Amino acid sequence: MFLVEIGYRITKEFISLTALVFPYFVFGTAFGALLDVYLKPDFAFKFFKRGTSSVINASILGAVLPGCSCATIPMAQGLKEKGTRLGAVASFIMVSPLLSPHTVVLTFAMLGWKFTLARVIFSLTGAILLGIIFNHLEKRKAKGFVNQNTSPKDACALCPNACEIEEKKNFFKSFFTILKSLGKYFLLGMFIASLLTVLVPEDAIPKHIGSSGAFTYLVAILVGIPLYVCEGEEIPITLALLKLGLGAGPSFAFLLGSVGTCIPTMIMAQKIIGKRPTLFYIVFWIIFTLSSGLLFSLFFKG
């Protein structure tokens, strides 16, 4: 009877949570499909030729493209082939799992406008700052910070469906491709959130690791950064952690950390921009994630 009751509570929580936010997920996916169909790479490439402006433009493009980081691999390769500097390529790759139409909409639906605004601001700031640093190191010819040569075949091999996603020109085909690709992770995130909400005692997190102390931030980052979640999956998990008493700052640090350094992104990054820049990025993101969580707790209270 105990297992039946637990199963019922988990199912009830899952259905309730999914029904609440699924319309937002569909809306975000539809918007992403429109961008996927009508945003032409050749139009975008001409804005990636010089310095800081190329980093900013690349970060914005990476943020608005739909799908996970894998979907942007062919475009990242295209940027390289057209002579784009290392910083712009790195910013484009790194921001793609952090921001996309459906994740922004889902963050607003589940976590509210403060988390949404902070996610957009800090993700873009981090990607742009990283790109500027990479451009500076490339200009100074620092060891390893050169634009590595990767063939289109190699880029597509990193994520087998990436090139197929980029080639979709029909809205409905693109919509269902994105929905199929991301929907399973969306549902998995909802299931994990339901499990945490039902199985973890309400006072467990405040009692054992605190709600917003230094140790809490450390745990949130050390758990979030190596954790593999596809973008969108981290949002319901973050909501569950908030419900269980984790502070807003550590929760935001977990949110950024869990997708900013996902395993596929790191594998892809070292193939396209090199091992040293990828290692630099991981260290940079640990520091930046911690700083973002602290700043979020200060400026986005209540």
Q: How confident is the model at residue 201 (pLDDT cuts 50, 70, 90)?
A: low
How far, in Å, CA of 302 to CA of 288, rounded?
23
pTM of the model: 0.73
pLDDT for 125 equals: 93
Q: Give me the pLDDT at residue 116, please.
A: 94
pLDDT: which is higher, 68 or 183: 183
pLDDT band at 198 (very low <50, low <70, confident <90, very high): confident
Structure tokens belonging to residue 70 = 């894998």
Range 268-280 average pLDDT: 79
pLDDT over threshold 80, residue 43: no
Nearest to 206 by CA among 175, 244, 233: 244
For residue 118, what pLDDT band results from cuts at 50, 70 and 90? very high
User: Vertex 15, ends 239 and 32: CA angle to 5°?
Assistant: 65
- Give percent of the chain above pLDDT 90: 8
The predicted pLDDT at position 61 comes to 81
CA distance 67 to 232: 10
CA atoms within 13 A on the CB side of 59: 21
- Could you give the count of Cα atoms lying within 13 Å of 278 in the half-sphere of its Cβ? 17
Q: Collect contacts of 211-217 with beta carbons under 8 A, ≥24 apart.
A: 211/245, 211/246, 211/247, 211/250, 212/247, 212/248, 212/249, 212/250, 212/297, 216/246, 216/247, 216/250, 217/249, 217/250, 217/253, 217/290, 217/293, 217/294
pLDDT of residue 93: 79
Name the residue among 265, 260, 235, 253 with its Cα closest to residue 291. Answer: 253
Per-residue pLDDT tens over the stretch 136-147: 888 887 887 766
pLDDT at 168 over 50: no
Which is more confidently placed, 210 or 58? 58
- Mean per-residue pLDDT, 102-131: 91
- The mean of the pLDDT values for the chain is 75
Choice among 70-84, 163-177, 208-222 with the minimum mean pLDDT: 70-84
Highest mean pLDDT pick, 38-52, 211-225, 272-286: 272-286
Three-state secondary structure call for residue 274: coil
- Residue range 111-135: mean pLDDT, rounded: 92
Per-range mean pLDDT, top range of 181-195, 219-233, 286-300? 286-300
d(CA 40, CA 84): 17
Is the model's pLDDT at 122 over the cut of 90?
yes
Return the structure tokens found at 214: 């230094």
Say if residue 209's pLDDT is above 70: no
Q: Report the alpha-carbon distance of residue 48 to residue 58 in Å, rounded.
A: 7
What local confidence, expressed as pLDDT, does residue 171 receive? 80
49-104 pLDDT per residue, tens:
666 788 888 888 888 776 555 556 556 666 666 667 788 888 887 787 788 888 88
Farthest CA pair distance, the chain: 67
The predicted structure's pLDDT at residue 165: 47
